[in-house]
Amino acid sequence: MKLSLITRRSLLALASATTTLLALPAQAQTPIKFQLDWRFEGPAALFLGAANKGHYKAAGLDVTIDAGNGSGGTVTRVASGTYDMGFADLAALMEFHANNPDAPNKPVAVMMVYNNTPAAVLTLKKNNIKTPADLNGKKLGAPVFDAGRRGFPIFAKANGIGSVQWTSMDPPLRETMLARGDIDAITGFSFTSLLNLEARGVKTEDIVVLPYADHGVKLYGNVIIASPKLMKENPAAVKGFLSAFTKGAKDVMANPDASIDFVKARDGIINVDLEKRRLRMAIDAVVASPDARREGFGVVVPGRLALMASQVSDAFATKTRVNPDTVWSDAFLPSKAELNILPPAKK
């Protein structure tokens, strides 16, 4: 069958257009290097979920998520430009700002994730420490960079604790030394140290946990931080990241157990059941805490932020006072409706 001239021209035009489209490169995605505060454990699912669900890619971002080795390191690496964004303790960020006032690229907190600090004092019932006041004169242990140890002067002031003796160790030895009686108590993240003690054979009912948030210390915990360079040169990327993360976090909190698969994909030797518990504990204690429900996910209360800045300045003996206006920005946050992601409160 002969084709008409018009039909042949139409087919040729279609073929030409198809060839042109195939020759065009895929839409470029903005690369974002992101560092966590710690290893790939349960809470990391909050970030990995958005990646596995494709939320970052849908926002035009090519996000690489790496494990960290402490909030201080994460802050420093974002400041140096090694990473574009990260997840770190707000107190560590405040300390960096106050001790490096002339640093050219001081990271800024752009979203609150842990509305309450996970820091806690943990001890064993046999040590007869039932309240913070019982810590007077006791021997406490923690790595020198531990957030709970750094913030302990704030906890001590709030609870009338006099003096304590500190023993320093590497993180893997902290819970071991408490379990074998070398020290009377430790500081650490509640959902990390509790499970680490259990892993060392300590029964749950024999562990005493004194969370800072339950004993007069309303410090904020971990935040998403961003490089000022990225914020200035590509604000849309920061907004896109926070929007994608928020969608992913909502998915994870709706089904935390299934989300541990994302963590296992990054670290195949994790204990799945333990990390399910760790993630649920983190959500309940610091992400969807009573304070977070009152204040809203992702945001800060100016007065509470200012108080924390003053407390950190004093407790950390910083070179200059922390300026709360320079460590935090809400300019990139999703809308209030988008931030309404916390699961229903447990009855």
**Cβ of 325: how many Cβ atoms within 10 Å?**
11
CATH code: domain 119-214 is 3.40.190.10
What is the residue whose two structure tokens read 């060839």? 19
Which stretch of 11-15, 142-146, 202-206, 207-211 has the lowest confidence by average pLDDT? 11-15
Residue ranges of the domains in the chain?
A: 30-115+220-327, 119-214
Residue 25 has pLDDT above 80, yes or no: no
Categorize the per-residue pLDDT at 346 as very low, low, confident or very high, splitting at 50, 70 and 90: confident
Residue with tokens 């895929």: 26
The pTM assigned to this predicted structure is: 0.89
**Residue 56, by phi and psi: left (phi above 0), alpha (psi -120 to 50) or beta?**
alpha
* 30-115+220-327 and 119-214 in the same fold: yes
Domain 30-115+220-327 class, CATH top level: alpha beta
Dihedral (CA of 335, 338, 344, 345) sign: negative
- The mean per-residue pLDDT over the stretch 99-127 comes to 97
The length of the chain is 347
Res. 12: pLDDT tops 90: no
Q: Quick one: pLDDT at residue 223?
A: 98
> Judging by DSSP bridges, how do beta strands 222-226 and 85-89 pair with one another?
antiparallel
Give residue 27's pLDDT band: very low, low, confident or very high (50, 70, 90).
low
How far is residue 307's CA from residue 8's CA, in Å, rounded to a whole number? 75
CA 284 to chain centre: 14
Predicted pLDDT at 22: 42
Structure tokens at 191: 């959902």
Looking at the chain, the whole-number percentage of residues with pLDDT higher than 70 is: 92
Strand partners, 95: none
Distance CA 226, CA 34 (A): 9
